[in-house]
Amino acid sequence: MKGMVFTEFLEMVEMKFSADMVDDIIDDSAPPSGGAYTAVGTYDHVELVNMVVALSKRCDIPVPTLVQVFGEHLFGRFHTLYPTFFAGQASVMDFLEGIETVIHTEVRKLYPDAQLPQFDCTRDVGGLQMRYSSPRHFGDLAEGLIKGAVAHFGGGVQVSRLDQDNGDIVFDLRTLA
Ligand code: HEM
Q: What would the pLDDT profile of 71-113 be if each residue is shown by its tens digit?
A: 999 999 999 999 999 999 999 999 999 999 999 999 999 999 9
Q: What is the pLDDT of residue 126?
A: 87
Answer whether 107 contacts ligand 1 (Cβ < 6 A).
yes
For the chain, the distance separating the N- and C-terminal CA atoms, rounded to the nearest angstrom, is: 39
Q: How far is the CA of 104 from the centre of ligand 1 (A)?
A: 7
Q: What is the pLDDT of residue 142?
A: 98
Q: What is the pLDDT of residue 124?
A: 93
Could you tell me if residue 50 is left (phi over 0), alpha (psi between -120 and 50 degrees) or otherwise beta? alpha
- State pLDDT tens for residues 24-43: 999 999 999 999 999 889 99
Answer whether 144 contacts ligand 1 (Cβ < 6 A).
no
User: At residue 177, does pLDDT exceed 90?
Assistant: no
Give the whole-angstrom CA distance, residue 166 versus residue 118. 14
Q: How far is the CA of 117 from the centre of ligand 1 (A)?
A: 7
Q: How far is the CA of 131 from the centre of ligand 1 (A)?
A: 14
User: At residue 4, does pLDDT exceed 90?
Assistant: yes
User: At residue 12, does pLDDT exceed 90?
Assistant: yes
Answer whether 105 contacts ligand 1 (Cβ < 6 A).
no
Going by alpha carbons, the residue nearest to atom 35 of ligand 1 is: 142
- State pLDDT tens for residues 123-167: 999 899 999 999 999 999 999 999 999 999 999 999 999 999 999
Q: How far is the CA of 26 from the centre of ligand 1 (A)?
A: 23
Q: How far is the CA of 116 from the centre of ligand 1 (A)?
A: 6
Secondary-structure breakdown of the chain: helix, strand, coil percentages, each rounded to the nearest 5? 55, 15, 30
pLDDT above 70 covers a percentage of the chain that reads 100
Distance of alpha carbon 120 from its chain centroid, rounded?
17
Strands of the 118-124 sheet, one edge to the other: 118-124, 127-133, 169-175, 157-163
Strand, helix or coil for residue 35: coil
Amino acid identity at 141: L
- Pocket perturbation via mutation, ligand 1, pick of 104, 143, 168 by most ligand atoms within 8 A of CB: 104
Give the whole-angstrom CA distance, residue 32 versus residue 71. 24
